[in-house]
A and B are shown apart, each in its own frame.
Chain A
């Protein structure tokens, strides 16, 4: 029998990008709020960035893939039937400990794809509903960037100047200018100057630099610590096993287990799920009861369905110039190109894509084929020559595609395989669609054109980056109709009053940019709805 704990007004499960933001907003209300997080606090001094063995860690204990990393807090993801491998991190701050912090916003059109293009569904909210929350989030996370981007609506002044473009960024910018294509310095939650206790990093040093990691916003610092000053309680190393309801289907609270194996029942007025696009459907599907035999909040059958990732294609070019060092600065927060963002009826796909510029890697990664289409530098006599040809000499473009929702792309749970906390493992099914394939192929051709214009003499292509499952969306869709969605426009589930989902699971569609500012804006908006603001 779990130990009963005194009542709390609000329990938030998960402390990543969404959980942190929502907790901070709620903590200002005087309500009793507790976060339950399966991972530990993470000490930013432990980033292995400055050690010589950095690249060894990044392929092992610091690998982005939990199935490779296998840390205490990680759960295995059964992903053999998925074209793309999901990535995430479990700690106070969640995946914002591993993210790149490239932070574009969705476009107004992204919320209206059914109206505009006759596909998927419109969101029940608009860009303008979220605008205020994007601004609050930029302020809290700290955004480096510059206003005036013609591809996006005007926005409030950025908190810090853009990160330097570097010689490689300037090269891409000039090439885009020559082609008459859009480009703009990326908005980034990496601090270009010291910001609210966070160290600024103006790209002095390689992308592996420990300082770079410390200059990136993670929600443990940006939101959770300030919220704790308002009374937020954080229970680390505690995994929620089940959300419980009474026989009539009324929410009761959560059952969780700590890292000593002690089980607790936390009664709560409201429960907010922020476990990401895989963790949240996993928990809902695991929480079966008499009232909800197919899993909680699942009367539509849509919990776990419509998984969207943003499939990426990677195109890199090798440059011959002698004195360039394309390994300075962050890996990706450099330039965004949105020339091909909207639907063009003359193409063989709907919706569109962005390019995000990437730069060279460290020597270990270069030797293992990063930047060269995954082709490992040959072993034996040819090794050194080929290594020299590539090292610090390539820069790349990642094509980020809009991923449309499809029912067969989904998260299920395997009742027979459980993690150490007794929670069923998630099993992922995902196939890249024809529309996405055509879209990525178009993106690859455009990227090659831009890189050639920039002067590269050889390109390497990865048509679908298998290791790019960093954006997890769609698995508890937001909508007006309870038959066709899991949560309403306030992020409350249609089926269970006072149960909310606030992470990327609620995305109706995915847009063609990194999702986290939008995830956080939705989480802040949901907090205001809960507070009746």
Chain B
């Protein structure tokens, strides 16, 4: 797919700036892995070009060229780069964000904390059957469809 391990590591180094850890919520790197990034990019071609654009944008930023390169950037620099990219390349930036958000919110441990339970058999997922007493008022209304 034309994106190598180093690219993936560069990309991965941004994920906690996008979703940091706060209170009980884990940061992105605590729940998603580099393998997840490879999986989503390999299986969904729409992300490849925007991610490549993202990486070349980051590489061109002067801060990325200092000792240690992209992976050694501090958080302030990362925030600065992301802010800049958001304003100059919004389409690519939003797809980069989409990759990270979708992966993060596909994780079971995140689901547990936020209360997303897709188990049909659990009690909290049962809905009361339709009860027609709720129609009391509206069903008394005279028919008002136009006769033609």
List A residues at the B interface (Cβ < 8 Å). Answer: 50, 52-56, 59-61, 68, 70, 107-109, 111-112, 115-116, 126, 146, 148, 150-153, 161-166, 170, 173-174, 176-177, 182-185, 192, 202-206, 208-209, 211, 325, 327-329, 342, 362-364, 366-368, 376-377, 379-381, 383-385, 387-388, 391-392
A205 touches B119 (CB 8 A): yes
Considering the complex, give the chain A residue whose CB is closest to the CB of B147: A108
**Which residues on the A side are within 8 Å of B34 (C-beta)?**
none
B51 to chain A, nearest CB (A): 14
A176 touches B138 (CB 8 A): yes
A363 touches B116 (CB 8 A): yes
**Which residues on the B side are within 8 Å of A163 (C-beta)?**
130
* B60 in contact (CB, < 8 A): no
**Which residues on the B side are within 8 Å of A111 (C-beta)?**
148
* Contact of A55 with B105 at beta-carbon distance under 8 Å, contacts A204-B125, A392-B115 already known: yes
**Which residues on the A side are within 8 Å of B132 (C-beta)?**
146
* B2 in contact (CB, < 8 A): no
* B91 in contact (CB, < 8 A): no
A56 touches B46 (CB 8 A): no
B107 touches A148 (CB 8 A): no
**Which residues on the A side are within 8 Å of B104 (C-beta)?**
367
* Contact of A384 with B118 at beta-carbon distance under 8 Å, contacts A55-B105, A183-B138 already known: no
Q: How far is the CA of A14 from the CA of B40 in the complex (A)?
A: 33
B94 touches A376 (CB 8 A): yes
* B66 in contact (CB, < 8 A): no
Q: How far is the CA of A153 from the CA of B115 in the complex (A)?
A: 43
A-B contact sample (6 more), CB < 8 A, given A162-B130, A377-B101, A383-B20: A59-B98, A115-B148, A150-B139, A363-B110, A379-B19, A381-B20
* B35 in contact (CB, < 8 A): no
A208 touches B118 (CB 8 A): yes
B126 touches A209 (CB 8 A): no
B148 touches A108 (CB 8 A): yes
B46 touches A68 (CB 8 A): yes
Q: How far is the CA of A376 from the CA of B125 in the complex (A)?
A: 27
Chain B: interface residue total (CB-CB under 8 A): 56
B114 touches A363 (CB 8 A): yes
B138 touches A182 (CB 8 A): yes
Q: What string of 1s and 0s marks CB contacts (under 8 Å) between B111-128 and chain A? A: 100111111110011111
B120 touches A342 (CB 8 A): no
* Contact of A329 with B127 at beta-carbon distance under 8 Å, contacts A368-B98, A379-B17, A383-B19 already known: yes
Q: How far is the CA of A327 from the CA of B20 in the complex (A)?
A: 26
* Contact of A53 with B106 at beta-carbon distance under 8 Å, contacts A150-B144, A151-B145, A206-B125 already known: yes
Pick the contact of B105: A70, A364, A380 (CB < 8 A): A364
A60 touches B19 (CB 8 A): no
Pick the contact of B127: A166, A211, A381 (CB < 8 A): A166
* B1 in contact (CB, < 8 A): no
| Contact sample, A vs B, 30 pairs, CB 8 Å cutoff | A53-B106, A55-B102, A56-B40, A59-B102, A60-B46, A126-B148, A148-B135, A151-B143, A151-B144, A151-B145, A164-B127, A164-B129, A164-B130, A183-B138, A185-B135, A203-B127, A204-B121, A205-B119, A205-B125, A325-B124, A327-B116, A379-B19, A380-B17, A381-B20, A383-B20, A383-B22, A387-B114, A388-B114, A391-B114, A391-B116
Top 3 A-B pairs ranked by shortest CB distance?
A205-B120, A363-B105, A109-B146
B114 touches A328 (CB 8 A): no
Considering the complex, give the chain A residue whose CB is closest to the CB of B101: A367
A497 to chain B, nearest CB (A): 32
Pick the contact of A107: B110, B120, B124, B145 (CB < 8 A): B145
Q: How far is the CA of A392 from the CA of B79 in the complex (A)?
A: 29
Q: How far is the CA of A206 from the CA of B19 in the complex (A)?
A: 25
Q: How far is the CA of A225 from the CA of B110 in the complex (A)?
A: 42
